Structure 1
Amino acid sequence: MTRHEGRSRTGRGPRAGALLAAAALVMGMTAVAAPPGTAAAAPTFTRAQPFRPADTGARITAETRLGPQEVDITIESPSLGRSVKTRILLPRDWRADATATWPVLYAYHGGQDDYTSWPRNTDIEGWAAGYDAIVVMPEAADGAYADWYNYGFRGTPKWETFHTKEVVQLVERNYHAGTARAAIGDSAGGQGAITYAAKYPGMFRHVASLSGVLWLRAPGMPSLIMATNALNGQDPIAIYGFLVLNAANWRAHDPYELAPRLAGTKVFFSSGTTGNPGPGDPDAPPWDVGLFGEQAVGATNLAFRDRLDRLGVPYTADLYGDGRHNWPAWTRVASRVWPDLMASIGAREL
């Protein structure tokens, strides 16, 4: 990993003719136990009070225990106009009747995926079990981590409001999550993590993006984004609006444009840049969309790095050159950055 004074290997721009193919990847297609001899006590879920709602009226309508430290909640969300799920990992000393709070990490998933993405693809349960912290994995669907513009009419879905207001308030009011927060995300979730940290300074102490698009309006990128939305069966204009006519709304969601607001937040970002496969990647031909897609993403990360350099905003970057847009690369990086995220929120190692 390189800090802001270092320079990372640079890849070339995306190959001609690959834009639509890479679109399926660019905005997010996502292709410790207790110490020896120590019994891990299961958290106590018995509640003396009913679930408390969020300020918007969002409420928890169901709680399903999946294991001693793992629970799914169903959230009825006015911001989304429907109910969705969120997965929560609880520390082993957590109790429903506790008066203490715990530091919390929010893990956002990529596009064409759901709230189970992180546990399906990584050992996030094992990473979480090594620290006295809560981990929250909210649903994001293909919502682009934004309150949709909807041709100026706004309205649902409001994914940004769901994540930054409803989920945060519900876990703080019902699961003793504290205000010492960090966030990590892969692909579209990485873009979302950086965007939220910039739009709401102070919300997160530390934020990490794994192959997120960090310059929405980079040359060729709007076409990729809108093509991705169309391939997902959505109106490609509904999320941010028209590129020129609604340029202000695009800028309002663009990490590159929001970069000055990251001063004071610890920032980490990573991506491949070359369009070549990396360690652990599956065998793929040179024209594989995961390779083209990561090269396009990497170009936005390089531009974002240069933008932060000009602004004098500190960061840590791991622009690792070879690597596909997939979980082998993200798991490798996430496992390395996890202890730093935990330290930033004051989570005690167990």
Structure 2
Amino acid sequence: MRCRGAVSALVAVLVAVGSTVLGAGGVAAQAPDSGAAVTNRVVAVDGSRAEVTSVDGRQVTVRIYSAAMAREVSVKVQRPADTSVPRPSLYLVNGAGGGEDTATWEQNTDVVDFLAGKDVNVVMPVGGAWSYYTDWREPDPTLGVNKWRTFFLDELPALVDTMFETTGRNAIAANSMTVTSVLQLAIAKPGLFRSVAAYSGCAQISDPVGRQFVNVVVGTGGGDASNMYGPPGDPEWVANDPVVNAEGLRGTKLYISNGNGLPGEHDKLGDPHLVTWGPVGLANQIVVGGVIEAATGWCTKNLQDRLAELDIPATFDVSTQGTHSWGYWQKAFKNSWPLLAEGMAIPA
């Protein structure tokens, strides 16, 4: 995988995107109103603890104290309609904004509503914007202490399993920045997430193009990526690159999707997923969203080639159209649901 001038130019455009393309859309999921039993008590695991702070029908908000980061993290959990027996958990992860902004699955798609009809706990962490959900080497002056890999692997699942009496079978799905993150998590702790779905991301981080992606995303939030894995050339970049370390994905059910950046079915006026209404919003989605998706498409092809080289099975859904936007991610999620459900051992 060599650096290519065209791809580097595409990456440079990312500096200007921020949350413009990934802002709020026109579809908001409504919380179901049927009740569900919740263990409404403080649960502690290895210094971390969780406590339910609110219950709205089947939507539960949990405040978790992370011992690794010495701070509280809010986590939303949608309970299944039938809680009479233990259920598996789907970790539904937001993109670069970490769910702290309006760029969330809940606000921009009907995915949470879709999952309301499934026998699954839907776990949606809020926090960690621009952090890549990994363990940083150093505290960052702007982004603070980031030990999100420890949170996702060691703290959060144990607390969720205890508080909600789950089956212990998990899946995870993510879009954009956090595609890198969920693949890293699957490699770091094989078997914790039986299936992984990743939509429109750049898995590679240790080559110059991939690291520039990281620099741009982290920099958009005011952070310094050298506090993550060190300066360019530090061995930690290679050690944490999901493409280089793809052998660790063997045995995990994988669904990877990407568009090619060309306008498609959701790139038109009146589409309910258009992040900003009107011609200006559409132009932004087509131009900026197209550039980003073309760049992540190049990364996705590299991941596809690497998995093929290692003879690791994976489902790739690579479209001949589509920008970096919510309409395509909603569709990709539903396409990936059978694979996610299979990993959790529940009917699709």
Q: Report the Cα offset of residue 337 of structure 1.
A: 1.3
Q: Please name the residue that 1:281 is paired with.
A: 267
Q: Which residue identity is paired with 1:112?
A: G
Counterparts in 2 of 1:1-350, with a 5 A limit? Answer: 14=6, 17-23=9-15, 30-31=22-23, 41-45=34-38, 47=40, 50-55=41-46, 57-66=47-56, 68-94=57-83, 100-114=85-99, 117-139=104-126, 140-150=128-138, 156-244=145-233, 246=234, 248-273=235-260, 275-282=261-268, 283-284=282-283, 288-348=287-347
Q: Which residue identity is paired with 1:209?
A: A
Q: Report the Cα offset of residue 285 of structure 1.
A: 6.6
Structure 1 Cα separation of the partners of residues 243 and 345 of structure 2: 29
Deviation by residue 1:36-69 (Cα, 9 ceiling, x = unmatched): xxx985212365xx322122x1112442113x21
Structure 1 Cα separation of the partners of residues 133 and 252 of structure 2: 19
Contact kept, 8 Å, 2:259 with 2:321, in 1: the verdict is: yes
Structure 2 Cα separation of the partners of residues 197 and 15 of structure 1: 27
Larger relative contact order, structure 1 or 2 (CA cutoff 8 Å, min sep 6):
1
Query: Against the structure 1 CA distance between its residues 46 and 211, is the aligned structure 2 distance closer, same or farther, given a 3 Å change threshold?
Result: closer
Q: Report the Cα offset of residue 15 of structure 1.
A: 5.7
Q: Please name the residue that 1:6 is paired with.
A: none
Secondary structure in 2 matching 1:325: coil
Q: Report the Cα offset of residue 263 of structure 1.
A: 1.0
Structure 1 Cα separation of the partners of residues 316 and 18 of structure 2: 19
Q: Report the Cα offset of residue 335 of structure 1.
A: 1.6
Q: RMSD in angstroms over aligned alpha carbons? A: 2.9
Secondary structure in 2 matching 1:83: strand
Q: Report the Cα offset of residue 227 of structure 1.
A: 2.6
Q: Which residue identity is paired with 2:37?
A: T
Deviation by residue 1:253-312 (Cα, 9 ceiling, x = unmatched): 211012111111111101123x32222025327982221111111111001100011100
Q: Which residue identity is paired with 2:89?
A: V
Q: Report the Cα offset of residue 228 of structure 1.
A: 2.5
Which aligned runs of 4 or more in structure 1 are off by greater than 6 angstroms?
26-29
Q: Report the Cα offset of residue 339 of structure 1.
A: 3.0
Q: Please name the residue that 2:278 is paired with.
A: none
TM-score, reference length from structure 1? 0.83
Q: Which residue identity is paired with 1:234?
A: G
Secondary structure in 2 matching 1:205: strand
Structure 1 Cα separation of the partners of residues 20 and 315 of structure 2: 22
Contact kept, 8 Å, 1:42 with 1:93, in 2: the verdict is: no
Structure 2 Cα separation of the partners of residues 143 and 336 of structure 1: 28
Structure 1 Cα separation of the partners of residues 18 and 236 of structure 2: 20
Q: Report the Cα offset of residue 340 of structure 1.
A: 2.8
Structure 1 unaligned blocks of 5 or more: 1-11, 34-38
Contact kept, 8 Å, 1:119 with 1:125, in 2: the verdict is: yes
Contact kept, 8 Å, 2:105 with 2:112, in 1: the verdict is: no
Structure 2 Cα separation of the partners of residues 114 and 291 of structure 1: 23
Secondary structure in 1 matching 2:88: strand
Contact kept, 8 Å, 2:89 with 2:120, in 1: the verdict is: yes
